[in-house]
Amino acid sequence: MSAADFFTFLRASLSHLETEVPEAHRTLAGVIGQLRARLVADGDARIIQFGYAGWTIAQDGDTDLEVAFDRAIIIELVDGQLTLQDAIEQERLRLCGPIGSIERFHEALLIYLEGMIRAPTAPALLEDYLSA
Amino acid sequence: MSPSPARPRPIGQVPFPSADFWHLAPRPAKSRVGFKEWSHFSVLGGDFDLLVNFSVMTESEGASPRSTPRLTLLVRAPDGHWDGDVEVFNRVDTTILPGLPDAVFGRNSARFIGPHYRVEAELSSRAVSAALDLHPMTQPVIANQSRLSDAESFSWMVVSHLRAEGELNVSARRYRITDAPAYHDRNWGCFMWGGSYAWEWAIILPPEALQPWCLVYSRFRDVHRGATRSQSLLLWRREFLCRKFYGRDLSISHRGLLRRERVLRLPRIASLLMPGVAADVPQEILVSARGYGDELDLRMSFDDFAQVVVPNDRWPGFTLLCEIQGRAEVTARIGGERIAFEGRVQAELNHVSR
């Protein structure tokens, strides 16, 4: 499975979040601020950041932290079989960077997840990604 | 499927269409922010529990209010394993007409095809499905404008006792349902998830259809659960509500805390935000009711629970609905008649998480 599918999903989910749960999106943008996160999904890397033009997902650039994972982890997390803490402790979800950046990313991730639970179109979006 | 001839006949259909109907269709013209309505069915089997809930809630997030239809299907299978999920539907896949009890959410439906209800539910995301025929044994009762808080209230239609026939499928295992006790209610009103209230609710049903008694317990408190706003215990004999205990008639206490090694939370992704198994679910709720010479003692002993996580109306935060299963013992003297029976209990605790 192409990891690019994850970034397609991520871009779409952020767009839906902005439309359907604007308070969650505002909070997320406020927490993540200028943080630049390098996401490595199934070995394919992109850098995500928020700015005046909204979200950008680029191939190159400076980063503040790196988060690496694979599709199997996402399936287990979404299905409630694995907690974030277990995923991190088992090094299946790998976070690398300064503590402050990791804390901000973790806080942003929880806001993103709460927003996704609220967004009516999120389940279908997630299902499309997971079943692709 | 027709009911067993050995048990009392289910009552006729006449009272139902006038008592049990949708008040809000998922149409913008009738949308009111905060309006919520659901049609709920529970089956309390000897070795399983099943909840099917069709809900429509009008939410204010986003540019304009929207009505979101959801199906919650939750089952505790005979092997003790919980399964289920919450699924969201588009309005175009949803058929609800105000004034009728029927609902169609995708391939899921609840219909009154008098004199019984037919419920068919099948999750798209998991191998869980149920097909039920539910035969009412009690008349519907309506409680209008039950107060949740100073500003919030809801109305409630209850058919406290039905008998269920049908089939339950969980992870490729098929379970036959025969003459199982069941419950149906409808709630509607303008209130907020995350509002300044908490509730406890429970249904106590007899295992046998010939047993004439069943009970519904409820208590509404402030969000901190320090002050009780209202509490009641309703007793049915055969098809009629025969005794109501209210307010100071009741003395209620909790004992212990129920602990499980694993707690299923729906939707499952919510476990990422709420890891761990701590929950303020008691091991027992004891209710003592006294009034006008009548007395009733109820002991609800809980065995297991799952949680449905509902986003609060106002960002951020969640409300936790703890769906609990267990056993009940009832001893009473009502109008000089002595009553004693053991039954099944399904309870729900509504607590704001944060």
- Mean pLDDT value across residues B231-255: 96
Question: What residues of B are in contact with residue A118 (Cβ under 8 Å)?
Answer: 61, 311, 315
CATH superfamily of B15-352: AttH-like domain (2.40.370.10)
User: What per-residue confidence (pLDDT) applies to B351?
Assistant: 81
pLDDT at residue B277, rounded to an integer: 84
Q: Residue B5 — pLDDT band, cuts 50, 70, 90? A: very low
Under 8 Å CB-to-CB from B129, ≥6 apart: which residues? B120, B121, B122, B123, B168, B169
Residue reference for tokens 């604007």: A22
Mutation pick from B31, B57, B60, B61 vs chain A, by most beta carbons of A within 10 Å, is: B61
Nearest to A114 among B68, B124, B273 (CB): B273
Query: Across the strands, what pairs with B236?
Result: B214, B241
From the CA of A21, how many Å to the nearest CA of chain B?
Answer: 5
A1-16: pLDDT as tens digits = 443 489 999 999 999 9
Best A117, A130, A131 member to test B by mutation, with max B CBs in 10 Å, is: A117
Q: Tell me the residue type at A60.
A: D
What pLDDT band is residue B3 in, cutting at 50, 70 and 90? very low
Q: Are B84 and B266 in contact (CB under 8 A)?
A: yes
Number of domains making up chain A: 1
Q: Which residue would you say has higher pLDDT here, B97 or B329?
A: B329
CATH number at residue A70: 3.30.1050.10
Q: Residue B41: its pLDDT value, please?
A: 98
Paired residues of B231 in beta bridges: B219
If one counts every other C-beta atom within 10 angstroms of the C-beta of residue B149, the result is 16
Is the confidence at residue B270, as pLDDT, over 50? yes
Taking 70 as the threshold, does the pLDDT of residue B86 lie above it?
yes
CA distance B126 to B53: 16
User: Does B15 score more than 80 pLDDT?
Assistant: no
Could you say which residues from 13 to 72 on chain A have a Cβ atom under 8 Å away from some Cβ of chain B? 19-24, 27
| A27 Cα to chain B: minimum distance (Å) | 10
Q: What local confidence, expressed as pLDDT, does residue B252 receive?
A: 98
Q: Which amino acid is at A100?
A: G
Does A111 sit within 8 Å of B315, measured CB to CB?
no
Lowest-confidence segment of A124-128, B168-172, B239-243, B262-266 by average pLDDT? A124-128
Give the 3-state secondary structure percentages of chain A, helix then strand then coil, rounded to 5. Answer: 55, 20, 25
pLDDT of residue B354: 60
Stretch among B100-109, B222-231, B289-298 having the lowest mean pLDDT: B222-231
pLDDT reported for residue A4: 47
- Chain B interface residues (partner A, CB cutoff 8 A): 61-63, 66, 68, 87-88, 124-125, 264-265, 267-273, 275, 309, 311, 315-316, 318
Q: What is the model's pLDDT at position B29?
A: 41
Is A116 at the interface with chain B, CB within 8 A?
A: yes
**What's the mean pLDDT when you consider all of chain B?**
91
Amino acid A132: pLDDT: 74
pLDDT score at B114: 81
| ipTM of this complex | 0.87
Residues of A in contact with B88 (CB under 8 A): 120-121, 123-124
Residues A14-68: pLDDT tens digits? 999 999 999 999 999 999 999 999 999 999 999 999 999 899 999 999 999 999 9
Q: Which has the minimum average pLDDT: A65-74, B315-324, B344-353? A: B344-353
- Residue A32 domain boundaries: 4-131
Question: A107 is written with which tokens?
Answer: 């806080």
Between strands B173-190 and B337-352, the pairing is unpaired
Greater model confidence, B3 or A6? A6
DSSP state of A1: -
Q: pLDDT at residue A124 above 90?
A: no
Q: Which chain B positions have a beta carbon within 8 Å of A85's beta carbon? A: 275
Termini Cα distance of chain B: 45
Residue of B nearest to A107 (CA): B273
**Rounded to a whole number, what is the distance in Å from the CA of A127 to chain B's nearest CA?**
8
CB contact (8 A) between residue B315 and residue A85: no
| pLDDT of res. B226 | 86
Q: Return the percentage of chain B with pLDDT > 70, whole number.
A: 93
The count of CB pairs under 8 A between chains A and B is 66
* A121 contacts on B by Cβ (under 8 Å): 88
- DSSP strand pairing (B337-352 vs B294-311): unpaired
> Minimal Cα distance from B314: which residue of A?
A23
Q: What is the pLDDT of residues B186-205, one digit of tens each?
A: 999 989 999 889 999 999 99
DSSP string covering B242-276: EEEEEGGGEEEEEES----S---EESGGGGGTS-S
Mean pLDDT value of segment B210-226: 93
Confidence category of residue B14, pLDDT binned at 50, 70, 90: low
CA A93 to chain CA mean position, Å: 12
**Domain extents for chain B?**
15-352
Kindly provide the residue ranges of all beta strands, DSSP E only, lying in B125-282, ordered along the sequence: 128-136, 141-147, 153-170, 173-190, 198-205, 213-221, 228-237, 240-246, 250-255, 265-266
Q: How far is CA A15 from CA A4, A50, A74, in A?
A: 17, 12, 20
B61, B66, B271 ranked by CB distance to A83: nearest: B271
Look up tokens 């009890």; give the residue: B101
Q: Which of B202, B138, B204 is nearest to B343 (CA)?
A: B204
